[in-house]
Amino acid sequence: MSHIDTLSVHAGYTPDATGAVMPPIYTSSTFAQKAPGEHSGYEYARSGNPTRGAFEKALAELEGGVAGFAFASGLAAMSTVLELLDAGSEIVALDDLYGGAWRLFEKVRSRTAGLKTRYVAPDDIAALRDAITPATKLVWLEIPTNPLLKIADLATVVEAAHAVGALVVVDATFSTPYLLKPLDYGVDIVLHSVTKYLNGHSDVIGGAVIVRTPELAERLAYLQNAVGGVMDPFSSFLALRGLRTLPLRMQRHSSNGLAVAEWLSAQAGVEKIAYPGLPSHPQHELAKRQFPRGFGGIVTIWLKADDAGVRRFLAALKVFTLAESLGGVESLVNLPWAMTHGSIPEDNRLRRGITPNLLRLSVGVEHIDDLLADLAAGLAAL
């Protein structure tokens, strides 16, 4: 199966002896053994579960990795990846990233493990190269970044990181394997918040890690079991079901996202817009090379409005729902200043360009005319 459209439907599972075309939900916490240590491949559900295993196998097949691992949340996946590092290790991370990742680095692992994180702009190649030194053990990227939608040149970063023996981790939640396969660029670990596009229906919390080498697969398998933040069987079933329609959804997310971005870029109430699919994006040419199938459904805008105007805009929306998260079939709008990135200190947010008038749109699969009419109503309320 060479096409991802076909692979997404069939990956991870073939009908069992019953002929079931979808894997059953195995809820058992433990499994019978014929003799001590002699089992069918499953002994305790934290260590392995057939339903979770089908989802993990599907993830690996879609990303082109040697193994996949499913976790109870995106942050559980991130936390387990960080367990690859020894205490006191140095990380180079992008200076525009998910607020929860920043909180994990700066408020948790800096204290409990002494991890030192240096931040650098993803669109400054020279600075990225300079930041990666022999002391660097891990380079942490998002592509695109959250919420400014900047693009890192993966080939360049991988070359610089591997030259000093550092691992490269890419959070590809926004892009998904339909739009980008980081492992093809030599990235070592791909990470996803399964909650978002992979599941696609805003009814599961989950995370995933896919690795490029058998050595990393062995280490992550050990850590997944030892740390224990695994995805439950029902969530695994739902996430695999969502994965089956990923190409269809991403095509619609991308076409709607581009249409919304083009329309908003011409509106007087919009101060600025970030979307990699627009020629105005500073890294548009790089984005076209790395995202040949489309640019996704996330659009970031800065309104020409004060706090009261932003609130009027949000209150006028009927199709876009004000909520955290993204990547579901429904359209969502988020105010990162007060929501997803509120844990980052104010001066840090402002320095990055995350201001009180910045909105992150997760453009869903609704009819484009309804989406544009809804945004027009919001702009009319400014």
Which residues are catalytically annotated? 46, 98, 171, 196
User: 340 with 147: CB under 8 angstroms?
Assistant: yes
Phi and psi at 70, nearest 5°, equal -105, 140
Q: Is the backbone of residue 165 left (phi > 0), alpha (psi -120 to 50) or beta? A: left
Q: Which residues pair with 117 in a beta bridge?
A: 91
Alpha carbons 265 and 288: distance in angstroms, whole number: 19
205-241 as b/e: b if 16+ CB within 10 A: bbbbbbbbeeebbeebbebbeeeebbbbbebbbbbbb
Contact between 207 and 220 (Cβ < 8 Å): no
